[in-house]
Amino acid sequence: MNTKFTFKAFLPALLLIACLYIIISIIPGIFITKNYNTPVFPRIFLPSILIFSFVILFGEVRTKFIKITIDKDTIVVRRFFGLLTKTYKTHEIEGWKFSHLTGKGGTYEYLYLYKEGNKVVKISQFYHKNYFQIKNYIQGNFKHLGYEKLSYTDEFIEIFK
């Protein structure tokens, strides 16, 4: 069973590319200028916002824009458009938890697979078109560990793991 991406799942990846392009094209021009009359605030604020946005988008794409293949014995997770692949044995997975993320666009469910007490796979209703098929398969084959309240601090920390 393979996950399939929704159309809107490609938006963070496209924004990441656009943000990188802006960083590469604008930031050198801000600091390599002969005009010293430019106020200091924009010279600091604009690059800071761009770099922070890039880090957040990079973490979002790295942790959630993933392709998952679940077989009888293995779970294969492909990140960065297949450049990084990690394989887990199904007997290594302790179980799963789910949570809800509410935003202006609606409420989306997230499902986490745990190995040795750590989240190793994060499946999202926002990113995956066949989320409920995957969830039904996981419900039938893995132990339910309960509901996990969404924590934005944990989400932010996972960007850097």
What per-residue confidence (pLDDT) applies to 56? 87
Contact in structure between 93 and 113 (CB atoms under 8 Å): yes
Q: Which residues of the chain have pLDDT under 50?
A: none
Q: How far apart are CA 36 and CA 46, in angstroms?
A: 17
Whose tokens are 């924004």? That residue is 15
Q: How far, in whole angstroms, is CA 2 from its chain's centroid?
A: 18
What per-residue confidence (pLDDT) applies to 38? 67
Tokens standing for 105? 């666009």
With residues binned 3-state (H G I as helix, E B as strand, rest as coil), the percentages for the chain, rounded to 5, are: 45, 30, 25
DSSP character at residue 72: S
DSSP character at residue 128: B
What per-residue confidence (pLDDT) applies to 18? 92
Burial class (CB in 10 A: 0-12, 13-18, 19+), 134: buried
Contact in structure between 123 and 135 (CB atoms under 8 Å): yes
What per-residue confidence (pLDDT) applies to 21? 92
Residue 155 has phi, psi (to 5 degrees) of -60, -40
Mean of per-residue pLDDT scores for the chain:
84
pLDDT per position as a tens digit, 134-159: 899 888 888 888 888 877 777 777 77
Q: How far, in whole angstroms, is CA 159 from its chain's centroid?
A: 8
Give the chain's radius of gyration (CA, Å): 19
